[in-house]
């Protein structure tokens, strides 16, 4: 099974080194709760940025800012080097930033192809009031087989697919509709080893095709398998920011698990015996 992803349809970002998306000292407060403070992040084309952090660390808040759902209260958001303010997720989509949420906005009982084109249906040229079901079926089949998902029938309800396949359908959909930055919110959280493998392979294929991928996860193993760059959030602060070459899986896991706090806990639980 080969996994291939076509190159982003929009033009390559200006110059090789200008990040697709950059956050400069971004902060977000909800009333007197500080959800994020001083976050600096660069998302480059052809790279996977892994965002790690425990519950309440600020991961969702961070992606809500990049995807246009919320606005930061401090700092700057730049797209292709230009300071930008998104009023809504539609503004972010227009710039090619697409988010695949964990709960996937799919209608489980509808066929795969209807979900693929949900809200952006193709219509017959001669009868603009009728849907072009044949074209949508054919496109869905082609787009999915490009990424190694060979469904015999795209008429089955999407709810009958495996978790990994559903994630891949959602990602393929974002790619097809012009994304160049893919934000994936815990795409492997609810999946077993094999299904996670399907999604991780697809993440690597998307990166190799030149997409900027932001991969949010609790799982340091998954992050380390596909990530080029890691950011660890802890209570809204950036605790770690390093490249693949700068950190081992053991260190990433230890940092993620709370590092020193975990050692102290182990010591306490074992009554100081180790």
For Mg ion, the closer of residues 60 and 217 by Cβ is: 60
- Over its C-alpha atoms, the chain yields an Rg (Å, rounded) of 20
Give me the residue whose beta carbon is nearest to Mg ion. 60
3-state secondary structure of 170: helix
For Mg ion, the closer of residues 102 and 204 by Cβ is: 102
Instruction: Out of 17, 55, 130, 274, name the contact with ligand ATP by CB under 6 A.
Output: 55
Rounded to an integer, what distance in angstroms lies between the CA atom of residue 39 and that of residue 15?
Answer: 24
Opening angle at CA 50, ends 45 and 52, nearest 5: 155
Task: Identify the helix (H) or strand (E) that includes residue 139.
Answer: helix 133-146
Instruction: Out of 49, 60, 99, 167, name the contact with ligand ATP by CB under 6 A.
Output: 60
Residue list 24-63, contact with Mg ion (CB under 5 A) = 60
For Mg ion, the closer of residues 60 and 140 by Cβ is: 60
Is residue 56 near ligand ATP by the rule CB under 6 A?
yes
Total number of residues binding Mg ion (CB under 5 A)?
1
Least distance to ligand ATP from the beta carbon of 220, Å?
A: 14
Contact by Cβ (8 Å): 195, 162? yes
Q: Which two tokens stand for residue 10?
A: 């929009």
Opening angle at CA 206, ends 244 and 204, nearest 5: 40
Nearest 5°: phi and psi at 154?
A: -85, 10
Least distance to ligand ATP from the beta carbon of 28, Å?
A: 8
18 secondary structure, DSSP code:
S
Is residue 59 near ligand ATP by the rule CB under 6 A?
yes
Q: Residue 202's CB: how many other CB atoms inside 10 A?
A: 27
For Mg ion, the closer of residues 51 and 144 by Cβ is: 51
Instruction: Out of 5, 45, 57, 100, name the contact with ligand ATP by CB under 6 A.
Output: 57
Rounded to an integer, what distance in angstroms lies between the CA atom of residue 67 and that of residue 182?
Answer: 10
Contact by Cβ (8 Å): 242, 227? no
Instruction: Out of 11, 17, 32, 33, name the contact with ligand ATP by CB under 6 A.
Output: 33
Residue 20 binding partner per list Mg ion, ligand ATP, none, with a CB distance cut-off of 5 to 8 Å that depends on partner kind: none
Is residue 234 near ligand ATP by the rule CB under 6 A?
no
Instruction: Out of 8, 13, 50, 53, name the contact with ligand ATP by CB under 6 A.
Output: 53
With a CB cutoff of 8 Å and minimum separation 6, the contacts of 156 are 111, 112
For Mg ion, the closer of residues 60 and 253 by Cβ is: 60
Give residues in contact with Mg ion (CB under 5 A). 60
Q: Given the rule CB under 6 A, which residues bind ligand ATP?
A: 30, 33, 35, 53, 55-61
């Amino acid at each position: 099974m080969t996994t291939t992803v076509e190159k982003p349809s929009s033009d390559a970002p200006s110059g090789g080194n200008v990040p697709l998306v950059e956050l400069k000292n971004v902060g977000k407060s909800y009333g007197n709760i500080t959800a994020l403070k001083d976050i600096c992040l660069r998302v480059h084309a052809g790279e996977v940025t892994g965002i790690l952090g425990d519950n309440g660390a600020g991961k969702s808040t961070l992606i809500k800012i990049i995807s246009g759902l919320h606005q930061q209260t401090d700092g700057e958001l730049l797209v292709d080097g230009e300071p930008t303010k998104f009023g809504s997720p539609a503004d972010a989509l227009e710039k090619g930033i697409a988010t695949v949420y964990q709960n996937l906005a799919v209608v489980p009982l509808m066929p795969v192809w209807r979900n693929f084109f949900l809200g952006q249906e193709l219509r017959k040229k001669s009868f603009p009031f009728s849907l072009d079901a044949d074209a949508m079926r054919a496109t869905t089949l082609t787009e999915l087989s490009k990424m190694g998902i060979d469904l015999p029938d795209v008429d089955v309800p999407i709810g009958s697919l495996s978790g990994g396949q559903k994630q891949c359908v959602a990602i393929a959909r974002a790619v097809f509709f012009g994304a160049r930055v893919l934000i994936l919110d815990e795409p492997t959280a609810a999946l077993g080893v094999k299904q996670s493998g399907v999604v991780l392979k697809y993440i690597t294929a998307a990166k190799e095709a030149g997409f900027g991928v932001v991969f949010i996860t609790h799982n340091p193993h998954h992050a380390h398998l596909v990530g080029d760059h890691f950011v660890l959030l802890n209570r809204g602060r950036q605790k770690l920011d390093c490249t693949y070459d700068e950190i081992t899986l053991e260190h990433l896991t230890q940092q993620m698990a709370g590092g020193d706090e975990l050692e102290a806990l182990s010591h306490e639980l074992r009554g100081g015996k180790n």
